Amino acid sequence: MSEGYKEYRDKVLNFIEEHENWRSHTINLIASENITSPSVTRAVASGFMHKYAEGWPKARYYQGCRYIDEVELIGVDLFCRLFKSDFADLRPISGTNANQAVFFGLAQPGDHIISLHTSHGGHISHAGFGSAGMRGLNVHTWPFDNEEFNIDVDKAERLIREVEPRLVVFGGSLYPFPHPVKELAPVAREVGAHVMYDAAHVLGLIAGGQFQDPLREGAEIITSSTHKTFPGPQGGLILYKNLGEDTAKLQWAIFPGVLSNHHLHHMAGKVVTAAEMLEYGQKYATQVVKNAKALAEAMAEEGFKVIGEDKGYTESHQVIVDVSDLHEGAGGWAAPLLEEAGIILNKNLLPWDPLEKVEKPSGLRIGVQEMTRVGMMENDMKEIAHFIKRVLIDREEPIKVKKDVYYFRQGFQKVYYSFDYGLPLGE
């Protein structure tokens, strides 16, 4: 009997434990991450991970799905209620997978689509070099207004009429302000395009009624991941209106088009998260936006160049900072230095950066959703801004700041806006 490989098991389990200890003592500001409540974590670490359930609830290609069917049916009902959509499909296993389903179901190779350029905040799956291009779609990018940090509505309207796309895509990975769906969706519909909104970053804010409401503003389809402002496990989903004869095409593209089995344990985690958001989502999303504004203001007061000052800095969970004049390497210098101090965020291209600057972009992208979830309020955002200033402007040794970050973070160890811990003090 060989026990020669047990050390690898031990190493893996140790690394997981070390990772969890480390993360619980850092200030995580990655705008695309979050943490799950104990209930959601339990749902994911469950026997649902051991099943196949291809197909629809009550119409599976596998036996033994009775409990899984019950959970998925509860989930479809809760997501339709939460987002007031006609249909909810919890099967996509990621946001990119959800986008692929739309690209396969509602467009053909050679069709034109319009989406946001990656330098302007678009997601890689919307790009010519990503899933959209690999589906054979001709990708055009939205004209962008750097001053407004948003899609240029007049030029976009002209582009839609000129290109006559099959699909237009709103949403992306970097956008502090709502996209002009209301203004452009009617134009897109006029030329026969479907209107899709990739809500990956802002799904939790939409659930809480604190950002734009794409399905009411003219979008027909929301694709999303489920783990950014929406505090679920990693995964994806599609919410959609009745698309007429295209409904069946989209459904066929989801399964068997771009996935076979969905990840049932993640599906269960999404459903528990939907219940949390129906109960606590409004308060959570309100605090996320308040915290983002408070952090932006505090960073500006500390001397940082924060994007969007004349528009109140942000209406989402994101704060965008231009650090290009602080140091050679800009974001590529700042993000690793902050990691040494226990502050985790990512460097980001800003709209005026050429793509070659991807390793040394001008910007930092900051998201406050995870720190909101552990109970931080506006005053705590001031502390965070000061920690960041000590590292990037005062040039204090990161290790010294790290100690203070550690003790500060020690006071925030529960996951609020959940059935496990309820609301934080002050809510």
Q: How far is the CB of 226 from ligand DSN (least distance, A)?
A: 12
Cβ closest to ligand DSN, residue 123 vs residue 402: 123
Residue 173 or 273 with smaller CB distance to ligand DSN: 173
Nearest to ligand DSN by Cβ — which residue? 32
Q: How far apart are CA 308 and CA 295, in angstroms?
A: 13
Nearest CB to ligand DSN, comparing residues 135 and 166: 135
* 368/1 Cα distance (integer angstroms): 50
- For the chain, what is the HEC assignment? CCCCCHHHHHHHHHHHHHHHHHHCCCEECCCCCCCCCHHHHHHHCCHHHHCCCCEECCEECCCCCHHHHHHHHHHHHHHHHHHCCCEEECCCCCHHHHHHHHHHHHCCCCCEEEECCHHHCCCHHHCCCCHHHHCCCEEEECCEECCCCEECHHHHHHHHHHHCCCEEEEECCCCCCCCCHHHHHHHHHHCCCEEEEECCCCHHHHHCCCCCCHHHHCCCEEEEECCCCCCCCCCEEEEECCCCCHHHHHHHHHHHHHCCCCCHHHHHHHHHHHHHHHHHHHHHHHHHHHHHHHHHHHHHHCCCEECCHHHCCCCCCEEEEECCCCCCCHHHHHHHHHHHCCEECEEECCCCCCHHHHHCCCEEEEECHHHHHCCCCHHHHHHHHHHHHHHHCCCCCHHHHHHHHHHHHHCCCCCCCECCCECCCCC
Taking Cα atoms as reference points, which of 227, 113, 126 lies closest to residue 172? Answer: 126
Cβ 25 to ligand DSN shortest distance, Å: 22
Identity of the residue, 115 or 251, whose beta carbon is nearer to ligand DSN in the bound complex: 115
Of residues 123 and 135, the one with the C-beta less far from ligand DSN? 123
Binding site for ligand DSN (CB under 6 A): 32, 123, 173, 200
* Nearest distance, CB of residue 367 and ligand DSN, angstroms: 9
Of 53 and 202, which has the nearer Cβ to ligand DSN? Answer: 202
- Residue 112 vs 123, nearer CB to ligand DSN: 123
CB distance 195 to 219 below 8 Å? yes
**Nearer Cβ to ligand DSN (270/390):** 270
Shortest separation between residue 32's beta carbon and ligand DSN, angstroms: 3
Residue 26 or 173 having the CB closest to ligand DSN: 173
- For residue 94, the minimal CB distance to ligand DSN (Å) is 8
